[in-house]
Amino acid sequence: MRKICALLLILAVFLYSVGCGPAEDRGPEIVIWHWMSDRHQVFLELAHQYYEKEGVPVSFRLFPHSAYTQRIDAAAAANDLPDLFGILGEKRVLASFAKEGMIENLSPYMEKQDNKWKNRFIEIALKVNSFENNNIYQVEPGIYGVPIDTMSIQFLYNENLLEKAGFNPNTPPNNLQSFITAAKAANNIPGVYGFTSGWGETWMLECLVTNYAFNVMGKDKFIRTIKGDVPYTDSDWVKVFSVFKELREADILAPDIVTMNNKEAEEMFATERAIFTFNGSWGVNTYRQINPNLSYAAMPPPPANSKHKPGIWAGAGSSFVLNAKSHMKKEAIAFLKWLTDEERQEFLTRKTENLPAIKGLGDSVEGSLKVFSQNQELFTHPRLWPVTENSRVIEAINRGIQNIIIGARTPKEVAEEVNRVKQRFID
């Protein structure tokens, strides 16, 4: 026993001395926190390149996506935020950090030399990180985040399966009825479903609901609903919810669609077990890894009517904000400028298969990723809307849609339930 204790003691002293050994002194470093596990290796490579070039060390620290927000909140409460970090969630979260003076207004840096840095970016990517004059959050107008890539969420179709089902893959369905007809044809192909999507992750549903709300009632009426001027029991909202009833009744949805996560839906589409899917540009990587020969194309959400155009969620995929109290502000800004120059953005696009955040890189967007940069005229994002819906109302909508899909509620019942939640929130 004594020998074991002595051995443990020696081991502890050894580990302690190794742990406390002098680290390589690289001087003060820029610390960046993020959650992007798929991009971490590329970030480390870029940090190395930057150190070689500028002599400024950059340390990227990765945290699990599920714990990232809590980590940032805790650091904010302890006044211990890193120099650069990403903020997940609704715009009000970004607004809260800005209002509390925790993150820097980057407009002065962006607008230097006649907007030289600002003009690099794709407009929508920058807008999602900006606050306009008289914004509802009462945040000082300006740009508070630097986008490093962009994304869009679109309808995708498997070209081979669509052809097998008897349709021309060059002319995909252009309205809800033709979409349903094409998806129904999947029943003739053994083991293939019409449509799949990760609707267990309810924000994917929220995304599609707003796309159709734009289509059925137009953006203005949609915004007026969020403001509380139009009730969710309005006939247009019932029509929006009815889209999901039609999908259910047509029997085109993959089983378990309402508990399926995005990865499972991606796997289903990649292994050619569904003709259509609804997914974001981040899926390109998964599709290529699972099935390099998958042949697919994008199309806008098939409109339910021709009154208005549907929306497509797009914008900044990931952004970094600057800690207003950072001692490395100058260095961090220089690094962000370097990270968003043409060469680095091309490198990021090529290595991570995400859409670039800056203009003029259309040529470096290749193959499958290109389909996600189509239909740009329909691009929108909740962070661009002047108001944000209450999270409980969004939850009620998502749960309601799931209830419609499993046949537990009618669109009208869901509209009434959502309206009840909204009323409670307004009161």
Which residues contact other proteins (rule: CB under 8 A)? 76, 92-93, 95-96, 99-100, 136-138, 193, 200-201, 254-256, 258-259, 261, 264, 390-392, 395, 399-400, 402-403, 405-409, 424
Closest separation between CB of residue 425 and other proteins, Å? 9
Comparison of 209 and 405: residue with beta carbon closer to other proteins: 405
Closest separation between CB of residue 416 and other proteins, Å? 13
Comparison of 92 and 359: residue with beta carbon closer to other proteins: 92
- The structure tokens listed for 345 are 């953005």
Contact 381, 314 (CB under 8 A): yes
Comparison of 37 and 41: residue with beta carbon closer to other proteins: 37
Instruction: Return the exposure string of 223-233: e unless at least 16 CB atoms fall within 10 Å of the residue's CB, then b.
Output: bebbeeebebe
Contact 418, 393 (CB under 8 A): yes
Comparison of 108 and 407: residue with beta carbon closer to other proteins: 407
Closest separation between CB of residue 211 and other proteins, Å? 20
- Residue closest to 421 by CA, chosen among 233, 147, 189: 233
How many CB atoms lie under 10 A from the CB of residue 348? 24
Instruction: Return the exposure string of 182-199: e unless at least 16 CB atoms fall within 10 Å of the residue's CB, then b.
Output: bbbbbeebeebbbbbbbb
Comparison of 166 and 386: residue with beta carbon closer to other proteins: 386
- The structure tokens listed for 391 are 């999270």
Alpha helices in 271-325 (DSSP H): 283-290
Closest separation between CB of residue 264 and other proteins, Å? 8
Q: How many angstroms separate the first and last alpha carbons of the chain? A: 69
Closest separation between CB of residue 392 and other proteins, Å? 6
Closest separation between CB of residue 41 and other proteins, Å? 25
Give CA–CA dist 348/162, Å, rounded: 33
Comparison of 215 and 402: residue with beta carbon closer to other proteins: 402
